[in-house]
Amino acid sequence: MDKQLKSRERLQTIESILNLVGRVNVVDLADQFDVAQETIRRDLSRMEADGLLRKIHGGALAKQGQFEKSFAARIALNAPEKHILAQLATQLIPPGSTIFLDFGTTAHAFAEHVKSKSDLTVITNSHMTATTLSNNSKCEVFILGGRYDDQEKANFGTATVESIQNFHVDIAVLSIGGIDIETGFTVESIDEAMVARAMISRSSKRVILADPSKFNCKKTVRVADFQQIDYVVSSAKPGEQIMASFNENNVSLVTPLQAEF
């Protein structure tokens, strides 16, 4: 294929990914297109000059207008599966629990289901999740302070982590970017990882929401090892290696066929 054509198709694909999920990572794109990371950095610089994105350390973010148009699409993407995971995870939450809940569309689906539980206290960094939960008088909702990220409609940074240290909860419910046999549980950015690590450290039980695409997937920043997690909720079982690590580290897998409540 002509080099110029390859470059044009690569740029179009990067733009499509940005419009769908709001951010891209240099390492992941280099692996996906089988090119040098420097090639991807040049692509991102070119797209930034064209006003299509904003470069950040290790990747890029979509421009606000593009991302806002696609936010509903993100929520709709694999929506039935997200709600299956949310419904399963909700059954792990006893009435009267205190919960950490992070941001993301799967976490938002969980909020839609868990809000029917009675006497819950939910602490989140997501403004969308807080709004969803606050519509139910049975839930007391705290939103963590910090630097507001308009792309994710959530708070991040040092102030958010410091806010988390003021609490100790029964259960942390977290979405994840990847689960890999070597690196454990990973996410896309250091901001996400800082919040997730802090929530894990201040929780008695930890629940991970992970659709099957997250298995054998490695993102940029490590969040937790297998021994730090109590439950993984998914719609299917992982491969033998990850399943063996779950068993060795007492991680309970919850799937539609295995759920016993």
Same domain, 202 and 110: yes
**Which pLDDT score is estimated for 188?**
81
Asked, for residue 129, whether it belongs to a domain, the answer is yes
**Which pLDDT score is estimated for 230?**
98
Write out the residue range of the structural domain in which residue 46 sits.
Answer: 3-71
Residue 188: closest CA among 227, 149, 226, 162: 149
The model's confidence at residue 9, banded by pLDDT at 50, 70 and 90, is confident
216-238: pLDDT as tens digits: 998 889 999 999 999 999 989 99
Same domain, 60 and 182: no
Instruction: Give 162-182 as a DSSP string.
Output: HHHTT--EEEEEEE-SEEETT
Q: Where are the alpha helices (DSSP H) in the chain?
A: 3-21, 26-33, 37-49, 64-76, 79-90, 105-114, 127-134, 158-164, 190-201, 240-248
172-194: pLDDT as tens digits: 999 998 999 999 999 988 899 99
Same domain, 57 and 172: no
59-90: pLDDT as tens digits: 888 775 555 445 555 555 556 778 888 899 99
Round to whole Å and give the CA distance between 176 and 182.
16
Asked, for residue 259, whether it belongs to a domain, the answer is no
108-158: pLDDT as tens digits: 889 988 887 878 999 999 998 898 888 766 789 999 999 998 777 899 999
Residue 220: closest CA among 157, 182, 177, 181: 177
Round to whole Å and give the CA distance between 179 and 85.
16
**Which pLDDT score is estimated for 260?**
45
Question: DSSP character for 227?
Answer: G
Here the CATH number for the domain that contains residue 250 is 3.40.50.1360
Here the CATH number for the domain that contains residue 65 is 1.10.10.10
Averaged pLDDT score across all residues of the chain: 87
